Chains A and B, each alone.
Chain A
Amino acid sequence: MQQHLPILLIITPLVAAPLCLLLRQRIAALALALAVCWSTFAMALWLLEIARNTPGGITYQLGGWAAPWGIEYHVDTLAGLMLVLISGIAAIALSFAPRSIQDEIPAGQHYLFATEYLLCLTGLLGICVTGDLFNLFVFLEISSLSAYALISLGRSRRALTAAFQYLVMGTIGATFILIAIGLMYMMTGTLNMADMAERLKRTIELREQTVVVHQTRTILVAFAFLSVGISIKMALFPLHLWLPNAYAYAPSVVTGFLAATATKVSVYMLLRFVFTVFGVQFSFQTLPFDVGLMALALIGIFAASTTAIFQTNIKRMLAYSSVAQVGYMALGISFASENGLTGGIVHMFNHALIKGGMFLAMGCLVFRLGSVELTDLRGVGRRMPLTMFAWVLGGLGLIGVPVTAGFISKWYLISAVLERGWWPIAVLMLLSSLLAVIYIWRVVEVAYFQEPPETDPPVQEAPLALLIPTGLLIGANIVFGLWTTLSVGAAGEAARQLLGASP
């Protein structure tokens, strides 16, 4: 059992997805999906525990074919942390689903929702677990295609255009990644990540000259394709345009799940490629990847936060805020130092909890109000005190107030900046937090300081079936603001493993 954990984590949701399709009955399908999500979460926790205690991480050979010929699954601390994060969010968000999708998705499509949700989970987990580049692309496609379908389930017709927009952008991104993998395969003849990292350092004969594979133009082009492809997938400014509509018009559960996991997994891919496959030396010293990434990250933080201030649709506002937060993660990565990477990875973890929780709170609002326009939120703080309290706690996390998880990650990012002595960037980061204060405050002002409209009957608090999952994620945001052993501990370990030459 224990040695099969990496594959069990993938095939449990993969087998459950077609079973949901065969069941065709909404309660049975949702119950199966829930059971699968929670057991996947339990397995991921177990796997992280084993991975952290195994030097070099756990490997699993599919079909018994040894790497580098066969497909190898490789779980180190970073992958383990991602698996825990994704499966945990998936389990909590799906617990929110049965009540939430009653209004938002036609009952006849609930079993399809469960199927697509499980397939998306399979893809996201697979990306983190695999040590094979082509396998990574396959899982990327599984997760993306099911994500498009999930978004298109949204109630408004605009969900269809949003999903199509995401499909076009996502396909361009995935194609770029595939082209890059193809070019790298051409130069190295391998698809295994560890093996490729090693072969990229070798020398080859090219036009009667001896060159290192790294320095060939083909690999440079591959790196360019990869960084653009992954940037689209992780919605790094200025390639984020698919994200706001996709998040705004998807069903609430789907937004909560995808916002907390899909872009994070893309950040994970970036870490894997830049650090494990290409190596720090090549990415940051031979190529000025850090400068480019830092510039885009900073511009992205400001541009997206400012845009967020002017949104009247709160889901869109949070979506723009997500783009800004991706900027913080990219900023952490661009330092290529232990503190910076720890900050980036912790922020990935913490932001997933914060945004997941906030989007679920939005789901509660949609359930009772049927709208996410700012003007419809008047006085809702008095009508739905618990929901709005959860929302505000999440908002404080976004700003980075102490005691919330957001503070921890910004603390590490700022200390990484000061370690380099780049205090202007530290000032910029603090300024950008003020922008977050503005957009969170706009909602607080409307929700708490304006009179609720007279409706008959008055709007009530969201049901417990919705409040409990929301509370779990928001509560986790406070827990990981106070207790950092797991999040920062594992992130620090992951950062050291990434910076140490071996994958």
Chain B
Amino acid sequence: MNHYAILRIVTKLLIPYILLFGLYVQFHGDFGPGGGFQAGVIFAAGIILYGLVFGIGAARRVAPASIVERLIAVGLLIYAATGIAGMLKGGNFLEYGVLAHDAGHGQHWGILIVELGVGITVAAVMITIFFAFAGRERTE
């Protein structure tokens, strides 16, 4: 779709805002509607849009498959590590209250980090699925 000037330019204009909105939904999720899952999907949508308009090759250069695959694992590990940190600090698994000196702060930190892990994994999985389907079409 590289020769459609309007699509290309509008996409270039939109992508930063899509990514920014993803980050907003991610990090504002503890105050308003949102959270890691939604943010991950929105963020991945930005990359997928880039891939649709500028080609899979360009998208793969932005988000190399090997790194994206590792990010799937990293997100899950961030989530689990937060839970285990709660256990090491004397609480139960995923008990955030013990993470900081003050229970309220602990809850705040805990949910923020856990949702970050969720966001990373969801975004990486969405991008991987897109690459898997899109890449298949090209080889055949």
Contacts and interface: CB of A to CB of B under 8 A. Distances in A.
Given A14-B80, A15-B80, A7 B93 contact: yes
A11 B80 contact: yes
A18 B72 contact: yes
Interface residues of B, number: 19
A63 interface: yes
B92 A64 contact: yes
A63 B96 contact: yes
Interface in B62-107: 69-70, 72-74, 76-77, 80, 83-84, 86-87, 91-97
Contacts of A62: 92-94
Contacts of B70: 21-22
Contact of B72 (A4, A11, A21): A21
B73 A63 contact: no
A64 B95 contact: yes
A4 B87 contact: yes
Contacts of A11: 80, 83-84, 93
Contacts of B72: 18, 21
Contacts of B84: 11, 15
Given A18-B72, A22-B70, A7 B77 contact: no
Interface string A17-51: 11101100000000000000000000000000000
A314 B56 CA distance: 44
Interface of B: 69-70, 72-74, 76-77, 80, 83-84, 86-87, 91-97
B138 to A, nearest CB: 20
Interface residue tally on A, bucketed by range? 10 to 19
Contacts of B77: 15, 18-19, 22
B104 to A, nearest CB: 14
Given A14-B80, A21-B70, A22-B74, 12 more contacts: A11-B80, A15-B77, A18-B74, A18-B80, A19-B73, A21-B73, A63-B86, A63-B92, A63-B93, A63-B95, A64-B92, A64-B97
A11 B94 CA distance: 11
A178 B91 CA distance: 31
A152 B93 CA distance: 34
Interface in A59-115: 60-64
A54 to B, nearest CB: 18
A465 B8 CA distance: 58
Nearest to B121: A18
Contacts of B73: 18-19, 21-22
Determine which residue in A14, A19, A62, A64 has the highest number of CB atoms from chain B within 10 A of its CB, and name it: A64
Nearest to A6: B93
Nearest to B75: A18
Contacts of B93: 4, 7, 11, 60, 62-63
Contacts of A19: 73, 77
A21 B72 CA distance: 9
B91 A64 contact: yes
A130 to B, nearest CB: 13
A7 B84 CA distance: 10
Nearest to B110: A63
Contacts of B96: 63
A143 to B, nearest CB: 16
B74 A60 contact: no
Contacts of A60: 92-93
Nearest to A18: B73
A88 B76 CA distance: 25
11 contacts: A7-B87, A7-B93, A14-B80, A15-B84, A17-B76, A18-B77, A19-B73, A21-B72, A22-B74, A63-B92, A63-B94
Nearest to A119: B76
A153 to B, nearest CB: 15
A18 B120 CA distance: 13
Contacts of A63: 86, 92-96
